[in-house]
Every structure is written in structure tokens, then in C-alpha cells.
Structure 1
Amino acid sequence: MSYAPESTVARPLLALTTPNHPGPRRRGNRRARVILFVGLGVFTVLLGGMYFGPSAGLPIPERFAPYYAQPHTGSGAAHPQPPPGAAKPAPNPNEFPTAADVAASAEKVTAGADAAIDILLASQPSSLPSARSRYSLRTGRNPPRGFDAFYAFAKERGCLVEGYTAVERDFAPFWRAEKTRKGWFRERVRVMEGKLVNDAHGVAALAIRDGKVQRPENGATYFDGDWENTINKFASSLPSLTVLINGRDEPRVVFDVAGLFDDPPTQPPAPTDPNPFALSPPSTGAFFADPVRKDVCRPARGVGVLEDVPFLLSASSAEFTTDLVPVLSMAKTVDASTTVDATAAGMGGGGGSCFADVLVPGEFYYRNSWWAGKFDYPNNIKWEDKKPVLYWRGESNGGHIRGTIYKTFPRFRLIDLAALPENQGFLDVRMTGWHESHCTDDCDAEPIKKAYNISGKVVPREDAYKYKYLLDVDGNTFSGRYLGLLRSGGLVFKSTAFTEFFTPWLVPFEHFIPVRPDLSDLMAKIAWARANDAEARRIQEAGRVFAERILTDAQNDCYWFAVMLEWGALWGE
């Protein structure tokens, strides 16, 4: 992996925290400290917007305001429109950039994206005592056993030492429950482990003993072996414990944690689910909307109404438990505490706390993993040579199809959008594969495949390089291709009802363009990107550089380590 060179502005910042980095270290670094202070301030504001309350998120940047609320006219013209009859200015030949101008502009954009990452890295604790004290300040607890080893592990691999507020947020309900009765966490894990012996339901119970991970006798998931390899990199720094890991793409723990944060804290209920992780309602829409059941939370309406999210409306795969169970998962439905003014930004929100899963990086996001969607060769098309069209190829996987319910699924909505005459020339999207298993009861496959021209023809992933705009859209849950798209050289438009481990780090309108789950604002945002090419390019490059420099395989390992530290602290000695 090759990184762009550091910007000259950022070198003094790295010199403050990197012992062998060239540059001022003791004298003449007042200016660098000022820059660092300002950078920390900006970074703090960004994180503050992400984590503190549904109304504390960042507003939509002013530059987006004219485009966000206006519907797309289909004309291809930029919004806002000039008044009728207004004369068009004569073209100025000097306005067209030369090849040298284009190259210089691209270099400047990349340097700006790199400088932002340099500031982020320079804001990390520069010593172990600093890292320990800052952990205690955030959590009110002493650092857990193994924290010193985590610091060394992260420093050696160039990972973030802090910035794991999402980890602390995910474990907060379990710390709250542990506060009501010491030993609750370990007891609950052991109860669930016992219930999963005969049928694991896609949940692996991994035991760590004497610094090594012991593989369970019953193969529980597709990822058996992968997780053990990751955790064994730092297992020697963990206490003996048992960890539950969900091998499905979907979140599994349907439990509203809001009551645990009452004052005084509510005692967590005793387990009542006789067969945990086996609850598969015929209709998840009816399950979540059932007014009678008291053990089912109500999903946050901010992620789109129930009918906008296939996983909530008609999940193709859903095996839940309604007990509060600590389990590590790859995704859960979006929550206001994980997004930046999520409703306004088009990424859901609304204060939901319906799923209590703890997030970890999935194998789909390890570049060296068999599961990762890889490009055979790097992007070889310059930005200015790419088509100003939004590109997507994917399969029909979304919810379970019954009758005409599929028309509400985002992937089918996307194809319907592209078929509208007013949207011609804006979208190049096709459904390339059909999931038979999603079409059983009350589902006639052939007419649907014919109507949506689902041929089964696979196209090279590298075709995406030809386009400026790329779409990441949910199937039944997350697509798993997001980070690859960010690295590919296109501006990513992301439509999702889910949050993943990296969600708090990637900022809407700064690293990608958020799109509502029902795609109702997609056309307006494509029109904005066309009318604001330089800004679109800047966002694209910021997302690419962040994915290349921060969201690495090593960073995934560090995230797992941070999660396992918290698990070990709750487990106890």
C-alpha cells in the first residue's frame, strides 16, 4: 500500500509525536503547537457532533443547502435554476484548465486530505501515561488489564490509540447492568453459552485460555478460524474469558437498552428466551410493529419508516433473541448517537436503541481476507476522464419477497428510478443476480426477473473506475463493499439504515455523500455533484485517503483489541 507524501504543513505536527520523524522537536515548534491545538479543536468539534445527543450533530454544510431539499427536475441542470429568460454569459476560453492545472489541482486536493489525517494522528496520545489518563477521563474507570499492551500494539502498527468512543458506547449498557449486580456480565455469557451448545444458531462461543483462543468443537459460523487468527494476535494480553461472536450479517439482539440508563439503574431482566438467537418471525414488519409484545423494541423511525428498510419490514434472514445478551456483531440499525444530525444528513437517526449488539470489523473489510471484494488492479482513470454518472451493479438480495413488497426495497427502487425518462443520463445501474432463497411464499420470480432485466451476467468490478459517482446501498443489511468503493477513486454515495464500526469516523458530506434509505434525495445530490465538481472531487479524495491511511487491516486489529479489552474488563479476573 502506498501513501501520498506528507504535506509540508503537517510535518511539524508529526514531529511532536513521532520520535524518528524529521523536523523540529524542542526548539522553534511554537507554530506547530498552535497548529496542533487548532487541529485538535477541529477534531474535537467533529467528534462532539458525532457522539452527544440527537440534536447536537453537525448541520448540513451551507454549500449543500440549496440542493438538499429541492427535488431533482430531471433536466440535468444545476440547482438553483436561473430566472426564465436570463441571458447566458459568454464562454471564456481562459476558464478551461490546462493539463498542468488539472494535475496541480489534483495534487492540492490530495495534500489537503493527507493534512487532515496528519492532524488526526498528531492528536493521539503521545505517551502511555497520557493515554491512560485520557481513558480514565472519558470513562470514569481505570484502564482495563492489557491496556498498556494495547497502547504498544497500536503504536507499533500505526493505529489510533483513542477514538474508540463507539466501543465505549456499545458497552455502556453492559457496564450499567454490571453496576446493578457485580458478576452479571460473566453470568449472562455463560448462560447463553450453555444454551448454544446443541445449536449455535450462527453464534460462536470462543474461549480464551492461557493467552490462546480455543476453537469451539461445533462449527458455528462461516468465519470460524478468521476470528481466532485475529484475536490470537493479542490474546496473551487478555484474561481467560469466553466471548460470543455473531457470524451473521444481521444484528441479533433485539433489546431496548434505554431503561438501563434510568437513575437509579434498572435491574436487567432475567433471561426469558428459551432458545436464544432462534426467533425467526415470518414477517419482521409485523414483529417490530406488534403493539401487544412488550419484549420487542420499536426501531427508530429516523432510519426511515418501517417500510423503507427491508431488514425491518421483511428480513430475508433474521434469528433474534429478545434477551439482553452481550454479543459481537458486524452491524446494527442506525442510532442517533452514531451519526451526525443523522435525520438531516439523510442517514437516519431519531434516538433508537433497538439493537444491543457490540460492533466489530467484519471480515469483508480486511483487504487480505478471502471475503473482501477486491479489485484486480488499481484505479487507472483520472477523475476528469470519468463519466459524471452514478454507477451501481449488484444482486437482488434485500428482504424476503412476498407479493409486490420488493418494490419498496432500495435496490429495486434504484432500478425504477433509472427507468424514469427524466433521469436518463444520470444513472448507470443494473441488477445482475437473483436470490432464489428470498423468493418463496407468494413470490413469482420470472415476471420480476424479466421486468428488472436480471440476466445473471457478471461484470468486472473495475468497470466502476469509469464513473465519478458510485453507490453503496443496503441489501438485507450492509453491502460489505463500502471501504473498497471509497478506495476506488469514485465519490461514494451511501444509502444505509445500518451503523458499522467505522460509522463515527467517516463524516457525511466530508468523506462521502449520504443518501436517504428510500433514495428520495439521490437525484438531487447527483445534480449537486455535477454542478460542483471541484467540491465533489475534494470529498471523494478525503474519503479515499481516510480509507487508505486509517481504515487498514492493522486498524481493524486494533479495533478488535479495544473491544476485547472492554469485554475482558466486564468479565473480571
Structure 2
Amino acid sequence: MSHVRRRSSSRVGHAPAIVQPAYLDVPPSPFIGRTPKITSPAAAQTSGVGVGAKPGGPGWLNSSRSPRASGPDRSPLLSKRTNATGQMPTLREAVTRFLTIILRLLRTPKGMIIAATTLLLCWTSAYVRSHSDELAARTVHPSLIPLIRHSGNMVHLVSPKLGARIKGWHDYQVENDPTRPPTREELERDSKHTFHPNGLLLVNPKGRHPIHVLIERAERRWKEKLERQSRTLSEAVREYKQRYRRNPPKGFDDWSVGTGQWRFCEENNVQLRDEYDQIAHDLAPHWALEGHDSRHRNKVMQERDHTFTIAMQPGEPHPTIHGPYAHIKRASDIADMLALFTGRMPRPLNITYIIDDNPAVMLPYTQRERMVELGQQGECPSFSLPQLDWGNHPRSDYGPSEFIDGEDPSLSNFAQACAPNSPLRRSERGEHYTDYSGENVRSFVWNHAKVMDLCQHPEARKLHGHTMQQGVPLGPLVPLFAFAKTRLHADILAVPIEQWEAHYVGYEPSWEGKSMNKLLWRGSTTGVEFNRHTPWRRSQRARLHIMSHETAGTKNLMWSRRGQLREANVSIAAINDLYMDTSFSGALQQCDPETCKLLETKFDMKPTIGQDESNTYKYMIDVDGNGWSGRFHRLMSTRSVVLKSTAFPEWYQDRIQEWVHYVPVKIDYSDVYDIMAFFVGNTNGQGSHDSLAQKIGEAGRQWAKEFWRYSDMAAYMYRLSLEYSRILHHDQGDVDYVEMPSFNL
């Protein structure tokens, strides 16, 4: 068979022929975990590796094992861990081998990038650590801000503390970038002005314009007040008990009978039937007196000068009037209003009014606080005193009396009516106190009732004609009904009727028809005695006239741009010409000849204007006279925005919302220009909020129409009469209204 190749035979003395393994081109078996690499045929023959080798048998290489034998048959993998002699490498050899590997890595592009990045991070960390204060104040280019942010995130993975510093640097740069528009979160955070407990909003210059915040907050509070009002008698009784910790007075059910609804309030559609906290405040110290003591004081007051007394009898359609001033028109007007409920009274009642515009009763702080405490506990003091001298009035024996002398005669009577550590007392003692006047702290009114508290605002005491005096003498608690009082007086606040009209005859244009975009005020020289012995230039009306006629100097004006607060230094003459039309008018009053002549020559007295002309102004300011202001209701009925500055809380104080129905103004007028700049705009016409002003003007007009009616004033006096009648007779029993439980299933 010629086609069969014969195998060559080995001959002695000749080198063996090299035989190529037959399996070199065969792919490795899938059942073998690792195919060994055969470097030479000799190695293959000596190792016994062949096609017929069995797993685990001679010539099989198991890579999962770690052979420990030494010598030429040792695995190549093990040779990497030892040196040329077969021993473990020394420390020097290991370090040399490690550095060799590092150098090999650095020669590659990836290695160079990693090394450069590491060096840059180390250098940056060291630089930021040593120059952190300098970097925090340094302004960088806006394009670098994202790089700083990403660097902070990367460094935070290595060093959280250093990463936080870089992130803080980024936040600082972002917040101080003048070209960056603020985010919504930043606006909300930065617009948090300080609402101080004394009733002032302390302005944060980095926040939103505070008037935006005040209006939004006031609208929410007014809405909540309307929603929580009682709708039935049961709800009203429950609310009364929660607020005042006692039952309502007898006759409270005449605001209802059986139907579960108040009769008087339902007949007259009286709103806000729970908001009578002023009555509780005025009558709180009277609860400390025995019933017979209260009745005795009530009888003595009917003989006091400068008073008139209105007597109400159950079932009688109209009250009667007696007393020294029973003939005046004010007395008959009050009697006509009380006639709306006189016949509904459960007991006879006499109430005595003082005819003056100012209050007449003031107690030392310790005495009032002690009486309020005893009244809440249901206890009555009985300290005996001799006859008391009541100024120019007859001496009267008041019987049991709780009167205590003032603590410090060197202080004003106003200060003695305040707490010992109050700001007013500290200021008069020459001690340190925080001054919140306009020259020191920029602020706006957020709670008008608290701002009227002289104990917390000593800066306002010398800026009002009534409070700049020593104050009425401290005396015993007597039941006098007054038309005006501060929070420090102990008179019982009543409803005045002067200058009130249900409808004011005259031209009443719409908001768009009001052509004068200024602040209007015309008034007489009242509010203080204009003589050389009185600092009348600091009184409320005189300061308003003087400040609006200044022409020299500049003022820092605050206005709003896109909701944010902006400030600019402007000329006083320019803003007075732009915003103000306020001046004394009419005949001079309450001035001695010397001061009257000075007012005629030095003051720009303007003629009075009628209602038709005044209604063309979009803004009007209401300030006090000798007492409360009687024109507030008329101003609120004009659709104009009413700015009000007063020291006298009035009967409707719990039933109106500042910044919704009117704009409150500080006694020192430091906020007037900023308020006008917000609504009208700055001197360049920028930042006006005419629509918000229109909204407040219309809300005030609607409030005067729905919440300050003749029947609303009668409802206040009706409830006050019920409360005072109970105090006079609380020792006789049957003075409370007790709601009977309902068994209607």
C-alpha cells in the first residue's frame, strides 16, 4: 500500500526527530477550567500532557490548586511571589517592585490623569484650608460658580469637612451675586422679618418688602376670624366660657330665646358676635369689689361734676338722663342709641359718662394687677380708707376701698401704671432700654393695639398731646364711662356718637375718579395746649404739619421693586411735594396770643376743604385731636385708603383688621413716607401698587358699611350694659345666664 506513510525508525547516534503535537490547533475543551500554555514540545513531553491525559492524572494542570512543591515543576504563578533564589522577596525588593509598577502606570495616559487630578485636589484642599476666610469674601466670576459646586461635591467624598467649606463658599457666592434672580425658597427664607411682641415688624433689609408680608398675613387673620365666629347661642356660650372662664351674664339669652339664635343680633344682623375682649379688659378689676361697694361707687359718680347719667329701666322704651350735664346734645344722642335695648335690660341700670374727650381714671400697676387677680379668683378686698380728695370735686366717702399709693412719685403717672420692669419705667429711671423709634430701627405696625401700649413704647409718650403730660392723678377704681382711653387708664370705654352718619352726603367718586394721588389731612390746632409752657411742636398734629412742609435735607426712602425691598436717598422737598398735602386749617384754637401769632406768621395755614374735594384724594390720614378722632367713620366710607395714627384704642378695635381695612401708622410718623412710596411709587414712578391700595380702600368702605352701623354700636353698649349690671349685683344671685341642657334627640 504505497499511499501509507511509513514511520521512520530511530537510529542510534542520531537526534530524535521533533514531533509537532497533534493537538496544538485544537480549541480547548469546555470542560477544562484553564488550558495550560505549552511553550515547547519538550515541555509537553516531560510534563506528560497529551490528548489522552485524564483530569487529575499525570500531566493534568489544576489551576485552582496552589502547588507548594519547589523546583522546576513548580507553577509559573508561584514564581511571581518569590525571587530568583526561590525565597520570599525582601522589603527592599518589594518596595522596588511596587515603585516599578507605579512608574509603569504613570507612563500611561490614564495614570498621568489620575496623578494630576490627585495633586490638584491636594493643592486645592491645602489652599482652601489656609485661605478660607479670604476666599469667603472674594467675588469670583459667575462662570466659575458651577465648578466650585462640583469641586465641593467631589471633595466631600474624600473629606466631608473640607467639602462643606467649599460648598459654603459656593453658597456665599450664589447669595451675593447681584445678577442672579433669587429663587422662591430664598425669597421665603429672606422675607422673614421679625414680628416683635410689642406690635412692630422689624424690617429685614434683605427680605421682601414688608408691606407685602403684612397684607398677606392680615388677610389670613381676618379670614380666620370670620370663619371661627359663633353661629348659634350654644356656640356663643361655649366660646364665652373658654375665653373668660365664667358664664355669660343674665340677659345674654336676649341675644336669643329658645330658637338657639341671638334675637338682638339676628334682628340687626350683627357680625363678629364673639369679639368683645375690650369689655372684659375694662371690667376685669371691678370683679374684685363687693357688690354693695360697686353700687355705692356707682351712686357717688352720678353726683360727680363733668358727668351725665343715663338710667335704664326694664320695659321702658327710652332711658332717662340726669346729672350736672344732662342737657348737652351728647347725652341725648347717647340716650337715643341706648333706647334700642333699654326695655330688654333684666335689671335697672344707671351708667355715668364723663363729658370730657379724655379719660379720668388711672390705677397704679400693683393695685390693678392685684384686683384683676382677686377678681379672677372670686375674692373681694376690703381695705378701709378715710375720705379721698378728688381734686376740685367734692370729697366723698367711698366706703371700703382698695386704693394703694403709687410706688415711685418721681415717675409719671403713666409709668406708675406700668410694670416695674417695663420699658417706660426703665426709660424714666434712666436705665437702659431698647429704643424702637424710627431713627434707630426701621419698622412697621403689625398689631396696632400693642403699639398703643405706652408701657412697651416709651418713645411715643412725648410725641402725643395727651401722653406728653403727667397723666391723670392716680386714684381709686370708680365706674366712669369714657369715650377715649389708653390701655393704661381704668375708665370703662363707651361708644361715642359724634360725627357719625349712616350716609355722608357729597360727591363720591370711584377709585379711578380720584385725581389726587397724595396724602390729605386738614385739621385745627387741637390735641394740646399751644402755649409757651407746653412742648406743642412735638404734639401729633403739629409734627404732621411741620414734617410735610420741610424742604431741606434728604431721607432714605424704602420702596418695592418686583416684590423686593429697595432703598434710595432722596430729597425731602421732592417726596413732600410728591406725597404730602397735610396742613393746619381753619381758625386757630387752644393757643395763647403769643403762640397764635407765631402760628400765623411761621406756619403755612391752608383753608379748609369740603367733602367733595377731599373725596378726590386716594389717601387720607386720621390723627387724634384732644381725644379720639371722630372723623374715622367718614374717612372709611370714601373708598380712599385711610392711614391712622392714634394712642386710643376704640370700641371696634377687636372687630377691624389693620392692613385689610386701613393702614396703621406709628406715632412718630417714621413709616409714612415708606408707606406712600410703596403704594404711589418712588420719585421716578417705580414700584407703585395702586391695585393693592384700591383693594384696601374698598375693603375699608365695605367694613364701615357692614361692621360699623348704628345697630353695631348699640350691640356693643347692650353687651357692656349686661356685663356691668352683673358686676353691680353679683352678690344678689341670679346674675348669670346658664344654658339648660337639651334633651332633643
Could you say whether these structures have the same fold, taking a TM-score greater than 0.5 normalized by the shorter chain as the test? Answer: yes
TM-score normalised per structure 1: 0.67
In the TM superposition, 1:41-80 aligns within 5 A as: 55=197
Counterpart CA distance in 1 for 2:663 and 2:407 is 29
Deviation at 1:569, TM superposition (A): 1.0
Find the aligned partners of 2:611 and 2:460 in 1 and give their Cα distance: 32
Question: Quick check: 1:207 aligned with 2:311?
Answer: yes
For residue 219 of structure 1, the aligned residue among 325, 334, 340 is 325
Deviations 1:95-121 (A, max 9, x none): xxxxxxxxxxxxxx9xx99x9989866
| 1:549-568 correspondence runs (5 A) | 549-568=706-725
Of the three residues 314, 337, 342, the one matched with 1:230 is 337
Equivalent position of 1:542 in the other structure: 699
- RMSD across aligned positions (CA): 3.7
> Which residue in the other structure is 2:455 paired with?
300
Structure 2: distance between partners of 1:65 and 1:477:
38
Question: Is the alpha carbon distance of 1:462 and 1:293 closer, same or farther for their aligned partners in structure 2, counting shifts above 3 Å?
Answer: closer
- Show the counterpart of 1:447: 598
Residues 269/328 of structure 1: CA separation in 2 closer, same or farther (3 Å cut): farther
Q: Distance in 1 between matches of 2:633 and 2:479?
A: 27
Which string of whole-angstrom CA distances, capped at 9 and with x for unpartnered residues, describes residues 222-242 of structure 1?
412122222222122221122
Q: What are the superposed Cα offsets for residues 108-151 of structure 1, whole Å, 9 maximum, x if unpaired? A: x9xx99x9989866643332233233223322222212111132
Does residue 141 (structure 1) correspond to residue 246 (structure 2)? The answer is: yes
Q: In structure 2, the residue corresponding to 1:224 is in which secondary structure? A: helix
Partner of 1:21: none
Structure 1 residue 311 displacement after superposition:
0.8
What is the rounded CA distance, in whole Å, between the counterparts of 2:643 and 2:718 in structure 1?
30
**Is the contact between residue 507 and residue 611 of structure 2 (CA under 8 Å) also seen in structure 1?**
no
Q: 1:65: how far off?
A: 6.6
Give the 3 Å change call, closer, same or farther, for CA 66–129 of structure 1 in structure 2.
Answer: closer
Contact 1:277–1:319 (CA<8 Å) still a contact in 2?
Answer: no
- How far apart are the structure 1 equivalents of 2:267 and 2:500? 19
Determine the C-alpha separation between the residues in 2 that align with 1:434 and 1:124.
47
Distance 2:662 2:392 in 1: 34
Structure number with greater Rg is 2
| 1:472 to partner: Cα distance | 0.3
Partner of 2:485: 332
Cα pair distance change 1:395/1:268, threshold 3 Å: farther
CA 1:228–1:505: 2 relative to 1, 3 Å: same
Instruction: Check whether the contact 1:470–1:490 (CA below 8 A) recurs between aligned residues.
Output: yes
Counterparts of 2:492 and 2:504 in 1: how far apart (Å)? 30
Identify if the C-alpha distance between structure 1 residues 428 and 268 changes in structure 2 by more than 3 Å, giving closer, same or farther: farther
What displacement does 1:562 show? 0.9
Give the match's secondary structure for 2:537. helix
Contact preservation (8 Å) 1:67, 1:524: no
- Aligned-pair distance for 1:450? 2.4
SS at 1:274 equivalent: strand
Q: Distance in 1 between matches of 2:297 and 2:659?
A: 41
Q: Which residue of 2 aligns with 1:274?
A: 389
Could you report, residue by residue, the CA deviation over 1:455-509 in whole angstroms, capped at 9, with x for unpaired residues? 6x33212222221111001122222111211111111111111111112222222
How far is 1:557 from its partner? 0.8
What SS does the corresponding residue of 1:331 show, helix, strand or coil? coil
**CA offsets 1:75-113 (integer angstroms, 9 cap, x no match):** xxx9xxxxxxxxxxxxxxxxxxxxxxxxxxxxxx9xx99
Residues 269 and 277 of structure 1: is their aligned pair in 2 closer, same or farther, counting only changes over 3 Å? Answer: farther
Q: CA, structure 1 residues 131+262, in 2 after alignment: closer, same or farther (shift >3 Å)? A: closer
Q: 1:548 Cα shift?
A: 1.4
1:129 corresponds to which residue? 234
Tell me how far 1:290 sits from its aligned partner.
5.3
The Cα of 1:321 is off from its aligned counterpart by: 6.8
Q: 2:664 aligns with which of 506, 509, 514?
A: 514
Give distance in 2, aligned partners of 1:137 and 1:277: 44
Q: Note the C-alpha offset of 1:55.
A: 2.7
Give the AA of the match of 1:260.
M
8 Å Cα contact 1:486-1:543 kept in structure 2: yes
Which segment is superposed worse, 393-402 or 246-255? 246-255
Pick from 359, 377, 387: which aligns with 2:506? 377
Contact 1:207 1:240 in 2 (8 A): yes
Q: Which amino acid aligns with 1:503?
A: Q
Which of 521, 544, 547 matches 1:414? 544
**1:427 paired to 2:532:** no
Report the alpha carbon displacement of residue 555 of structure 1 after superposing the two structures with TM.
0.6
Give 2:297's aligned amino acid: R
SS of the equivalent of 1:225 reads helix
SS at match of 2:281: helix
| Equivalent in the alignment of 2:410 | 291
Question: For residues 59 and 412 of structure 1, what CA distance do their matches in structure 2 show?
Answer: 26
- The counterpart of 2:295, out of the listed 183, 186, 197, is 186
TM-score (norm 2): 0.53
Gaps of 5+ in 2: 1-194, 256-261, 395-405, 419-453, 552-571, 681-687, 733-745
Fraction of identical pairs, as percent: 22
Q: Is the 8 A contact 1:331 1:478 kept in 2?
A: yes
Distance in 1 (CA, whole Å) between partners of 2:623 and 2:643 is: 8
Are residue 309 (structure 1) and residue 309 (structure 2) matched? Answer: no
Q: Are 1:253 and 2:329 matched, yes or no? A: no
The offset of 1:251, in angstroms, is 1.4
Alpha-carbon distance in structure 2 between the residues aligned to 1:262 and 1:460: 51
Question: Any unmatched runs of 5+ in structure 1?
Answer: 1-52, 70-77, 79-108, 280-286, 336-353, 369-373
- Confirm whether residue 466 of structure 1 aligns to residue 608 of structure 2: no
Distance 2:412 2:622 in 1: 34
Change (3 A) 1:64 1:225: farther
Q: Which amino acid aligns with 1:405?
A: P
Q: How many angstroms does 1:293 deviate by? A: 8.0
Matched residues in 2 for 1:237 and 1:565: separation?
10
Within the alignment, does 1:392 sit opposite 2:498 as a pair?
A: no
- Provide the C-alpha distance between the structure 1 equivalents of 2:708 and 2:282, rounded to a whole number of angstroms: 20
Match of 1:173 in 2: 285
Q: 1:126 to 1:290 in 2, by over 3 A?
A: same
CA distance 1:142–1:116, shift in 2 (3 Å): closer
Q: Is the 8 A contact 1:208 1:214 kept in 2?
A: yes
Q: Which digits, 9 at most, give the CA deviation of each residue in 1:185-242, with x for residues without a partner?
A: 2222123334x2xxx22x2222223444222154345412122222222122221122
Q: 1:118 to 1:301 in 2, by over 3 A?
A: closer
- Report if aligned partners of 2:330, 2:498 keep a CA contact under 8 Å in 1: no
Contact 2:460 2:668 in 1 (8 A): no
| Structure 1 match to 2:70 | none
One-letter identity of the residue aligned with 1:227: I
